[in-house]
Each structure stands twice: as structure tokens, then as C-alpha cells.
Structure 1
Amino acid sequence: MPISSGIPAPEFEMFDDTNTLRKLSDFRGRNVILYFYPKDDTPGCTKEACNFRDDYSAYEKAGIVILGVSPDDVASHVKFKKKFQLQFPLLADDEHKVCDAYGVWGPKKFMGKEYEGVLRTTFLIDGEGMIKKVYENVRPAEHSTELLKEFSV
């Protein structure tokens, strides 16, 4: 179960698609959309990422940082980002430590098979590093629009 709103967001350090080490504290003073997704270049994850891409100028105008996180490695993120011209960092949580810290690694079911993986979840984090809102069971096709309404952008 994901951690809840109203608490400090757990600090993290992960490499992004440019092999730059990113920390949550690097973004203090700005609102952050930290979205966790299961896997690069799969239908739902691609839809969600491309919607963020298509709406990116609105987020940028509002000063909102978008960070995508999945258990894929840096090389996978490089291919995914290039293939779909994504403008925001994709962070590699290949040991799912950050997923564990945010409570988004858990049991899933697909075609009758049970396994452990990323529960598609988004956290809105304010400039002080506090979790303002948590979105669980995100619907990839509508999620970016839903977040833009949250910020009245």
C-alpha cells in the first residue's frame, strides 16, 4: 500500500536516462509529479508517458517537474525516451528500493498469473518535499489531464 499524503516524501537517489544521479532534494522549491510505472515501452506505460509528453509545455509553464520511475535499467530508459521523444527524466529503480520506500511494489495479477511488480501510482510532492496527494490505480489515458486539473493549468 502506498504511503499517504501529508508526510515528507522519502528521499531517493537514482540514475536517470542520462546516467545522472538524481535526488528528490534537487527539486526543493518546485512541485514534483513522481510517477511510478511498471515497464518501459508497454502499451499502458507508453500511453501515460506520451500524455505527459504531449502536455509537457503546460507543466513546464507552471514550473512543475515530472519524474518517471520504473524498475527498468538506464539503457532501457534511454531507448524508451528516444523512441517517444520524452522530455522529462526517467529514473532507474532496478532494485525497486524506491518503489519499496513509497509502498508501490506489491502483488499483481495478469492473465491469472500472480507476481510482484510496480503498482501504477503517482505522488504530488510540494516544494518543501511533502506529499500533497497520492493517486493509486492510475488510468494511463486520463492521468495527465487529471493532474493538470489539480494544478489548474
Structure 2
Amino acid sequence: MSERLSPGDTAPDFTLPDADGNSVSLAGHKGRKVIVYFYPAALTPGCTKQACDFTDNLDVLAGSGYDVIGISPDKPEKLAKFREKENLKVTLLSDPSKEVLESYGAFGEKMMYGKAVTGVIRSTIVVDEEGRVERAFYNVRATGHVAKIIKDLGI
């Protein structure tokens, strides 16, 4: 199981393709706060709800200095379909090798319908302007999570 991050840790840098195949890196956001969230699969009910919640609150988050990046193992083509179908405004990145998911502790054993399975652990990591972990939320719920983040961050 991959190691979970804690506040104060250096957030692992990454460069991944977005829905259009362009490379996006965490280092490219230095000087801004970044909410990096990890979700299991595009175009599924829970992940759609979560992505739409982030999109609906993007102006509030951006106004408080936060960029939002969603990462899943989906290929860029599927992310593009997801973005178009749901009118998403958040940056969606593809991590089919699951290396970034693992480096953030967002891939490993989890409980699903009472069974232990290996997969993406729905997680959100808030990274500060210097690239350090400000907050780390693991095993979050798709519904209501964005409102909780906004409340926890005092936005």
C-alpha cells in the first residue's frame, strides 16, 4: 500500500497529460495553492457528482487562490469525453500507470461493498504555494466533499 501524505510533507511533483494531451505539472502551479483530487473513474455517478461540485465552486476556489486538478487512471480521450459531457471546468489529468496516484497515497487497498479491493482511494490533497501539503483527506465521499473543503479552508 502506498504511503499517505501528511501536512508539511513535500507534495510529489508530477507531469501528466490533460484531456487534450497537453502536459501539466504541479511545478507549473508554484506560487498558487492547488487542490489535487484523485477519483476512480470518469463518467461514473460519484465521480461525476464530485467533478461537477468542483466545477460549480471553481470561481469561489480560484477567487481564494486555489487551482483545482483532478487525477484518475483514465486515458486523455475518456477525460475529454467526461469534460464535454458534463461541461467540466476543472483540469483533468490522466495517470494510467498510477504512479502519481501511488506517490500521493491515493491507490491501494480499500473497502468496497464490504470487500477489500485494490484501487483508487478517493482523496484530496491541498498543496500550498511552496509545494507542501497543507491538508490531506483520504477515503472522502464524492457527495458533500467540496463543501467540506471550502468550510475547512475557511473560504
TM range (shorter): over 0.9
| Residue pairs, 1:2-151, within 5 angstroms | 2-111=4-113, 114-151=116-153
Q: Return the alpha-carbon distance in structure 1 between the equivalents of residues 112 and 150 of structure 2.
A: 30
Q: How many Å separate the matches in 1 of 2:80 and 2:93? A: 10
**What is the CA-CA distance between 1:140 and the residue it aligns to?**
1.3
SS at match of 2:54: helix
TM superposition score normalised by structure 1: 0.94
SS in 2 for 1:91: strand
Equivalent AA in structure 2 for residue 4 of structure 1: S
What TM-score results when the alignment is normalised by the length of structure 2? 0.93
Distance in 1 of aligned mates of 2:33 and 2:66? 5
Give the distance between the partners of 1:71 and 1:21, measured in 2 at CA: 15
Q: What is the CA-CA distance between 1:115 and the residue it aligns to?
A: 3.3
Quote the Cα distance in structure 2 between the aligned partners of 1:75 and 1:86.
14
Unaligned runs of 5+ in 2: none
CA distance in 2, matches of 1:16, 1:8: 23
Give the unaligned 5+ runs of structure 1: none
What percentage of residue pairs aligned between the two structures are identical? 37
Which amino acid letter does the alignment assign opposite residue 66 of structure 1? V
Partner SS, residue 117 of structure 1:
strand
Residues 152, 46 of structure 1: CA spacing in aligned structure 2 closer, same or farther, 3 A cutoff?
same
Q: Return the alpha-carbon distance in structure 2 between the equivalents of residues 115 and 147 of structure 1.
A: 27
Q: 1:36-87 CA deviation, whole Å, 9 max, x = no partner?
A: 0000011111111111111111112112100000000100100001111111
1:112, CA displacement in angstroms? 5.6
